A and B are shown apart, each in its own frame.
Chain A
Amino acid sequence: EDQVTQSPEALRLQEGESSSLNCSYTVSGLRGLFWYRQDPGKGPEFLFTLYSAGEEKEKERLKATLTKKESFLHITAPKPEDSATYLCAVQAGTNAGKSTFGDGTTLTVKP
């Protein structure tokens, strides 16, 4: 069974203090790893898809990386508006269209 574990569960940063969120996964035949952002009272919003080890993607202050066992979401010089829950999800080759999610990391950035 596909498994996704995210750490830490919660992360509190000062504005400008860079850090990383971790997503460890166990799947049979990874087809894609996804990062989503979820604000309170809203549905998850897509950020990135990573397909193979070594791949990196960037968007503003966020950078996602992928190895064979885990993914990192690096946040550089975060701002208060980056506060949200960040969710990691995987899709495996045997489960077309089915995303398995982790529990998420709730990020709070203080001004």
Chain B
Amino acid sequence: DTAVSQTPKYLVTQMGNDKSIKCEQNLGHDTMYWYKQDSKKFLKIMFSYNNKELIINETVPNRFSPKSPDKAHLNLHINSLELGDSAVYFCASSAQGTTNEKLFFGSGTQLSVL
């Protein structure tokens, strides 16, 4: 059983389109995250939710909107896609979202905007 699963694995789309990435965790964790990894492998946090409540919201364009219907799911919707949005997006979870907790990552969604 995959602990943190995200779909789709690959997403190729045109500029200006709207797309969503879904994430689910079966670890019973309270906190989920979205990270963006650029071509140089740099991972940067975008959002985190604790029990469906937004607790971290980094400087991300408001075209990106996370939604957490329950604590096991965190989706990412992106409006009006731009070339610069091309990256790998990782969903992650941790037990409670406090410090010193390791992250469990999904396998990533490679987004290519043409």
State which residues 54-100 of A face B: CB under 8 Å. 85, 87, 89, 91-93, 95-100
Q: Are B99 and A96 in contact, with the CB atoms below 8 A? A: yes
CB of B23, distance to nearest CB on chain A (Å): 11
Q: Is B66 an interface residue (CB 8 A)?
A: no
Q: Which residue of B lies closest to A48 (CB)?
A: B102
B38-76 with Cβ < 8 A to chain A:
40-45, 48, 50, 55-56
Partner of B102, one of A49, A51, A93, A96: A49
Q: How far is the CB of B86 from chain A (nearest CB, A)?
A: 16
Q: Is the CB of A42 within 8 A of B107?
A: yes
Tell me if A111 is interfacial: C-beta within 8 Å of chain B.
Answer: no
In the assembled complex, the Cα of A95 lies from the Cα of B102 at a distance in Å of 14
CB distance from A107 to the nearest CB of B (A): 12
Q: Do A44 and B45 touch across chains, with their CB atoms under 8 A apart? A: no
Chain B residues with CB below 8 A from A100, complex form: 45
A90: min CB distance to chain B, Å: 10
Q: Are A98 and B4 in contact (CB under 8 A)?
A: no
Nearest chain A residue, comparing its CB with the CB of B105 = A43
Within residues 12 to 41 of chain B, which ones have a CB less than 8 A from any CB in chain A?
Answer: 31, 33, 40-41
Most buried by A among B45, B90, B94: B45
Q: Which of the residues B41, B98, B99, B100 comes within 8 Å of A85, measured between beta carbons?
A: B41
| A87 touching B43 in the complex, CB below 8 Å, given contacts A44-B103, A97-B31 | yes
Contact of A49 among B100, B104, B106, B108 (CB under 8 A): B100
- B1 interface residue per 8 A CB criterion: no
Known contacts A103-B40, A103-B41: does B105 contact A96 (CB below 8 Å)?
A: no
- CB-CB nearest in chain B for A38: B41
- Tell me which residues across on chain B come within 8 A of A96, comparing CB atoms: 55, 97-99
Bound Cα distance A63, B31 (Å): 29
Bits for B80-114, please: 1 = Cβ < 8 Å to A, else 0.
Answer: 00000000001010100111111111111000000
25 A-B contacts, Cβ less than 8 Å apart? A34-B102, A43-B90, A43-B108, A46-B103, A49-B100, A87-B41, A89-B43, A91-B99, A93-B99, A95-B56, A96-B55, A96-B97, A97-B48, A97-B55, A97-B56, A97-B94, A97-B98, A97-B99, A98-B48, A99-B45, A101-B42, A103-B40, A103-B41, A104-B42, A106-B41
